[in-house]
Amino acid sequence: MKSILDVRPQLHDAIWDVAEVAGYLWEKGWAERNGGNITVNITEYVDDFMRSMPAICEPRAIGTTLPHLKDTWFYCKGTQKRMRDLANAPMQNGSIIRITDDCAHYEIVADHPVAPTSELPSHLSVHNYLLAKGSPYRASLHTHPIELVAMTHCRKFMEKDVATKLLWSMIPETKAFCPRGLGMVPYLMPSGVELAEATIKAIDDDYDVVMWEKHGVFAVDTDIMSAFDQVDVLNKAALIYIASKNMGFEPEGMSDAQMKELSDTFGLPK
């Protein structure tokens, strides 16, 4: 069977970037079983032939109406699909969907009738918000980075910007490559509307990476590799902190003056 990717090199590359990231998530131990989700807005790669393609499933309700998603298309990891399998076969473990004109349903268009992630309403709600505010961000990533999740089991790290300041101070690259820090969302039921709303509020508070207490992170960026990079640098900082504690001392961290110098030198937003 031919794939929708075969004669569309830009779309092919975007989907295989997702596959590459999925492999990294598995290798790092951040994607146990079918854990984690990826959703990427691929509308810019859609051509007239794709628009004329019939759906391969009946329209399915999103569960909410998202008016800014009219005429948008997404690649979504499939429900109950493993990241390690997606890394090798993205179109067998995910699907391309389009949002219908009523902005309340979606159709699977290619390649196989793989049902999207159960967290699709949450992901699409975030994409709807990003488009509404004119954001260039087109990728969303949810994953379970071990050390970051571990930190949320300590109450003090759930306080606003406590973890951000600590992680920024561990190594200069953290502030440079995740300059908005880490927003914190107290524990809420996974896949629920409340979690989606809390995540959007955190992003609206000017964070690109949001920590879900005792669960995982949700990151948004212009593309899936950039979203992964933000989580990667934050978790590296958490590893440095935990390694220091394991060696028996409290890490000193960079000073406020040193971090301000970084911000001033590189024009960082916070």
Give the model's confidence band at 191: pLDDT under 50 very low, under 70 low, under 90 confident, else very high.
confident
Q: Annotated active-site positions, please?
A: 119
CA angle, residues 78, 238, 166, in degrees to nearest 5: 125
Distance CA 107, CA 113 (A): 9
pLDDT of residue 118: 87
> Domain residue spans in the chain?
9-265
Helix (H) or strand (E) holding 140: strand 139-143
> Which spans in 95-205 are helix H?
120-132, 146-151, 162-170, 172-177, 193-204
Express each pLDDT in 127-138 by its tens digit. 999 999 999 999
Please spell the DSSP secondary structure of 31-87, one letter per residue. Answer: --TT--EEEEE-GGG--HHHHHPPPSS--EE-SS--GGGTT-EEEEEBTT--HHHHT
Distance CA 130, CA 138 (A): 8
SS3 197: helix
What percent of the chain has a predicted confidence (pLDDT) above 90? 95
CA separation, residue 216 to residues 40, 126, 180, 219, 261 (Å):
19, 16, 18, 10, 31
**78 has which bridge partners?**
116
| pLDDT greater than 80 at residue 216 | yes
Express each pLDDT in 33-77 by its tens digit. 999 999 999 999 999 999 999 999 999 999 999 999 999 999 999
Pairing, β 182-185 against β 209-212: parallel
Q: Tell me the pTM.
A: 0.96
Q: What are phi and psi of 43, to 5 degrees?
A: -55, -35
| pLDDT greater than 80 at residue 101 | yes
| pLDDT greater than 80 at residue 1 | no
The superfamily CATH assigns to domain 9-265 is Class II aldolase/adducin N-terminal domain (3.40.225.10)
Could you check whether the bond before residue 208 is cis, i.e. omega within 30 degrees of 0?
Answer: no
**32 has which bridge partners?**
none
